[in-house]
Chains A and B, each alone.
Chain A
């Protein structure tokens, strides 16, 4: 080496630096070993930590947030929360799936809810407000919540593992497809995990553990506090699109919500998505379940036509048309399809005028009113099936399938 010199004092500096890094890491790891949900980590994130191999969440986990949780979009955009929050309980069952309190422990479920990411497992909803729970109350059919986070989608081998733990295979499956999910022609459900799946699983486990860091959360909050748009620019704001409702309250959207309108789907993409849904439908049917496909739009496709003008509005309308085209394609292939778009579109304008939406304004998910609407729509469709109705009648439920 050409330059440099050694001194006793310098050695101390390097030891000091390593000690600082070591101490920092020790504090970080130490905090991670504590119940992170009590140290500012959101219930979802805390529940995803240390999930089982086939489960989206830790088993038998429960956390109660008396003040609810802030809207994800408001947090992302570093905006003050203006939306009222309700107390929230996030619990999981022994298998590591979101608990449906209406389903007695150990009972055989009639209906399995699968897909639909956070809409189904119920982000920002309390256990009793999730779709499977509300559907159980509305229809009388015992429902199991097999919803999983987007980062940990259900695979067939996960499904088989889950089914093995039920007393019997549910008679019905509700497969939920979210509008922004797009598939390639090669995307098919896999029944055995490959090497990449194993690596992805390991990465997921590591990433979920790493994400749930109280220290990181605390420092992030500190920076967000300074980036208040006064002392420092709020650079987080670019992570959301904000629109003002007639009552002057904001409605915030994330990129993925506006994506279907910004990047229209081609006919081939719609067909590829239909192929994927069909493959899942066949897989569920092959396991002895009747399948209903529930299509859920993004909030922007529902409300966009009243929020934007001109070409942007035309693009939202085209996105809605593509969504309806997918529904038609699925029905054309003999799949019983329930299109959630219409239910929300019917009242979209009035919802916006009143500010009383079936979705959160500051979060990308639906609220209990949205869940209720879809639960009723779903119950109407599912209960038309004679077999299901008979089964519900046989069980003499207090609110039997209509």
Chain B
């Protein structure tokens, strides 16, 4: 189910909201949110609910195990087995066909017979909820959280519909206090804040990202025909589309969290205002960056070893981060590209930081846009073709709707580079501004009703 769909807005959300506040006890609210989470998830494909249930059960039982056993060996087993189970799920559903494709590519050189692809359907959001459960297990192992004995509380955490399929990746420790206090009574406290986030997020997704997509998607289908200017326009468009699509989703998730009395942390902090690669990753998909830092980069040694070990750790982290986004070599290259940027910044950061701030921002944005080429292109060949079109002046066609795109780029660019992000806003709207938000809601509804449903880009990850 999509946040930007009539069934969510007019059926799912009102029912979920009314029942949630009508029932009073902790357990009944946990159970209700669990049920609604499964309905939300199963609306797409009910069979995959079993996967989520499996992942939930394994992690919950591991949590109980941590409460019961103190021995190092037992705790290690409690760490390794469920994490391996989660990673196995992810490996099978997300990476099996990628591995077969890679094997088939390599076997062409070795004269081996190719394997039949398995054509496995990727369960939506698997990358997100497996990370929820993995971080829970690791945190329990580290002792940074006390695992819950309440199954419904845990299942509510895993299946919480607001963050289920595209994040943010909220760690149990970040939500535990709100989950423990879920039986609070004052529903009005954060309702307005929730609606404010939700409407802004929906407008970002539906009005900005989807309109940009309606121009650039057809143009990027055949990158060989694009002129240099068109290629740049399309990639700038994609940069804003991706940002407003994902940040829009995250804002809607935050808003929904508020409506149900839960604080979901910020996932985007004006990333296109970043001054350097480190700054960018502190601002873009913050929840993922933190997970990668705390559960991969630091355990690998972080920056505590030699310079070269630090570079190695950065590269491993970013390569795996790239692979997490999608099972394709383009994502691996995108991850490697950012690993190189981070390493270069580590080496030459002093000189970069002395440049004028405007130059740093513009330069960083340019580097990010170049990276998005690999993120967007379906194949490495397409990415190279697109990069060639961007950097070697060539005549070609303009995308249909270039004028609309130019206007959207101007609007999106102004908001992304100069405007405050949703967490920087006060959300205390005067009547005129509130009416403006209501107008955005109406426009979004017109688009939701009138255009075909548009899934969020990060659903595919």
Contact = CB atoms under 8 A, between A and B. Distances in A.
Nearest to A19: B438
Q: Most A CB atoms within 10 A — which of B217, B219, B449?
A: B449
A248 interface: no
A216 interface: yes
B437 interface: yes
Nearest to A16: B438
Interface in B180-231: 188-196, 198-199, 214-215, 217-219
Contact of B441 (A3, A20, A221, A235): A20
A215 B192 contact: no
Contacts of A266: none
A2 B190 CA distance: 11
B218 A17 contact: no
A20 B442 contact: yes
A5 interface: yes
Interface string A313-351: 000000000000000000000000000000000000000
Q: Is the interface of B mostly helix, strand, loop or mixed?
A: helix
Interface in A188-231: 213, 215-216, 219-223, 227, 229-231
B442 to A, nearest CB: 6
B434 interface: yes
A215 B442 CA distance: 13
Interface in B418-437: 427-431, 434-435, 437
A232 B400 CA distance: 6
Contacts, number: 115
A12 interface: yes
Given A1-B263, A3-B263, A232 B401 contact: yes
B10 A229 contact: no
Contacts of A223: 447, 450-451
Contacts of B192: 6-7, 9-14
Chain A interface mostly? helix
A11 B187 CA distance: 11
A24 interface: yes
Contacts of B196: 10, 13
A12 B189 CA distance: 12
A4 B258 contact: yes
Interface residues on B, range: 35 or more
Instruction: Say which size band chain A's interface belongs to.
Output: 35 or more
B430 A9 contact: yes
Nearest to A3: B263
A233 B193 contact: no
A185 interface: no
B263 A14 contact: no
A107 interface: no
Contacts of A387: none
B435 A219 contact: no
Contact of B214 (A11, A17, A227): A227
A9 B400 contact: no
B428 A12 contact: no
A233 B434 contact: no
Nearest to A237: B218
B10 A231 contact: no
B294 to A, nearest CB: 19
B442 A24 contact: yes
A5 B192 CA distance: 9
B445 interface: yes
B438 A17 contact: yes
A235 B214 contact: yes
A94 interface: no
A12 B196 CA distance: 11
Contacts of B438: 16-17, 20
Contacts of B412: none
Given A11-B188, A17-B441, A223-B450, A232 B429 contact: no
25 contacts: A1-B190, A1-B263, A4-B263, A6-B190, A6-B192, A9-B192, A9-B428, A10-B193, A11-B191, A12-B434, A13-B437, A14-B195, A16-B435, A20-B438, A213-B449, A220-B451, A223-B450, A223-B451, A227-B214, A231-B401, A231-B403, A232-B214, A233-B399, A235-B214, A235-B217
Interface of A: 1-7, 9-14, 16-18, 20-21, 24-25, 213, 215-216, 219-223, 227, 229-235
